[in-house]
């Protein structure tokens, strides 16, 4: 059974720091992995999607890596800003989910970037 | 703005009330989803519709009744809910065969 774990559960850093959020999954048979951002009481915004054949994806100050064999992904945020404060969620799309795209979710990392 | 809208944004209802949540997507997608997000729990997939047909019901109690009249609209009809049903209900859409789901802002539901 696929399970997704995100560490740490919460993180507080000073502005300007580079930081890494971790996501691990128990079954390497996945189509892709996706990172989302959720602001308090709001919906989810897709940040990056990495296909199983890819090693990393970049968007602006964000870089997500995927090591499928070890069941790990990291989200690297460069030069963090207070506006980056949010909860970051990781979700995997397991093989066998078919076209339903039955994503398996982590609990998220709550990030606070302090001015 | 992700192209997925949800109304209402907040809803408080008693256990005997009947209410409906609405989701609309303007992205031309043909798959739509309802999720439940409770504190300290991962997102829970409730229902999936592909081309207006329900293709997934993730053991959801019958007090939640989905309706998908067309590819752009999705409803969640609620009746005789329990306090433990209080949560953020999220709608999402995706392209059939596509990889990425796009989410609405959610409806914060409180059941008294």
**Is A89 within 8 Å of A43 (Cβ atoms)?**
no
pLDDT tens sequence across B34-55 = 999 998 899 999 999 988 788 7
Q: Read off the tokens for B92.
A: 């999402």
Query: Cβ separation of B100 and A34 shorter than 8 Å?
Result: yes
CB-based contact, A44 to chain B, within 8 Å: yes
Residue B89, pLDDT > 70, answer: yes
Residues of A in Cβ contact (< 8 Å) with B99: 31-32, 34, 49, 51, 93, 101
Contact B34, B16 (CB under 8 A): no
CA-nearest of B23, B27, B46 to B36 is B46
Mean pLDDT of the residues in chain A: 92
Predicted pLDDT of residue B1? 60
pLDDT score, position A9 = 95
Residues 6+ apart with CB under 8 A from A55: A65, A66, A67
Instruction: Name the residue among A100, A64, A82, A60 with its Cα closest to residue A13.
Output: A82
Looking at residue B53, its pLDDT comes to: 81
Q: Which residues contact A6 (CB under 8 A, 6 or more apart)?
A: A21, A22, A23, A24, A88, A89, A90, A106, A107, A108, A109
> What pLDDT is recorded for position A34?
93
With pLDDT > 70 as the criterion, what percentage of chain A qualifies?
Answer: 96
Mean of the per-residue pLDDT values for chain B?
91
Any chain B CB within 8 A of the CB of A46?
yes
**What is the structure's pLDDT at B108?**
95
Total number of residues shown for chain B: 112
d(CA B106, CA B71): 19
What SS3 class is residue B83?
A: helix
Predicted confidence band of residue B62 (pLDDT cuts 50, 70, 90): very high
Which of A44, A93, A104 shows the shortest C-beta gap to B90?
Answer: A44
Interface test with A, best of B99, B100, B109 (most A CBs within 10 A): B99
Q: Is the dihedral of CA A81, A23, B46, A99 positive or negative?
A: positive
Tens of pLDDT along A85-112?
A: 999 999 998 887 655 567 899 999 999 9
């Amino acid at each position: 059974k696929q399970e997704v774990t995100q560490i740490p559960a919460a993180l507080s850093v000073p502005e300007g720091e580079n930081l890494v959020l971790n996501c691990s999954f128990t079954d390497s048979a996945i189509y892709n992995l996706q990172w989302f951002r959720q602001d308090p009481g709001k919906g989810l915004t897709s940040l990056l999607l990495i296909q199983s054949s890819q090693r990393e994806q970049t968007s602006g100050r964000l870089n997500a890596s995927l090591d499928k064999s070890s069941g790990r992904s990291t989200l690297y945020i460069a030069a963090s800003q207070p506006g980056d404060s949010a909860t970051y969620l990781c979700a995997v799309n397991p093989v066998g989910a078919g076209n339903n795209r039955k994503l398996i979710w982590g609990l998220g990392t709550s990030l606070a970037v302090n001015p | 703005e992700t192209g997925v809208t949800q109304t209402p944004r907040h809803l408080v209802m008693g256990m005997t009330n009947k209410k409906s949540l609405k989701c609309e997507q303007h992205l031309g997608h043909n798959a739509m989803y309802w999720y439940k997000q409770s504190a300290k729990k991962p997102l829970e997939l409730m229902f999936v519709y592909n081309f207006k047909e329900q293709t997934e019901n993730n053991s959801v109690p019958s007090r939640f009744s989905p309706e998908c009249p067309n590819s752009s609209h999705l409803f969640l009809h609620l009746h005789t809910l329990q306090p433990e049903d209080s949560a953020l209900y999220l709608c999402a859409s995706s392209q059939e065969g596509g990889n990425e789901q796009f989410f609405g802002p959610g409806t914060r539901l409180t059941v008294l």
